[in-house]
Amino acid sequence: MSSQIHDTSHITYEGLLEGNKKFIEGALAEDPEYFDKLANGQKPPVLWIGCADSRVPANQITNTAPGEIFVHRNIANMVIHSDMNMLSVLDYAVNVLKVKHVIVTGHYGCGGVNAAMGNNQFGLIDNWLRHIKDVYRLHADELDAITDETERSNRLVELNVIENVNNLCKTSIVQNAWKNGQELSVHGWVYSLSTGLINDMKVSTSSNENMDAVFKFK
């Protein structure tokens, strides 16, 4: 597979607006009531917490339609307990939309993860990347034993997803939903840019039974 970066030189501001018109034409040709249905509201069963990377569009890689996945994205798909943006999305998704699944989705070759593995400064984002460095610290013995840099990065991507699934479970929002008997499962995925396949991290849970006692709420 070519390592050449996808050519985006043809993308222009005006072209985006023209693209919108073509989208409308195509959608109405397929279903004349398409926008009327969307305007009636949303009831997505899934909240996707993913990376802001432009190559990982939630709907496209899961073959789902608008209205079927509620999406929050940030650098390296992080679930940080002090991030009010993420917590607000999570609260709305769980307590208003009543989603049944929350999926933390990372991807191999993540720029945020790769940056966190190094020692260069990038600016304000360094404070955000600190959380990924903490994941590295927790798993340093395993990661340091991996000599191939790409393999080490891929494993850190996986561990970062797993740790952020744990962070998600520790939130009062998720734990209260479980306490109240709400049907809610959390999952961790890693997407491969080179194959298009999703790798299930096998960390799905629907309770706080296996959580460390100090993080459990009564």
Task: Sheet with 198-200: list strands edge to edge.
Answer: 69-74, 46-51, 101-107, 185-191, 198-200
What are the C-alpha distances in Å from 146 to residues 118, 151, 176, 194? 15, 7, 39, 21
Show which residues are catalytic: 51, 53, 55, 107, 110
DSSP 3-state assignment of 95? Answer: helix
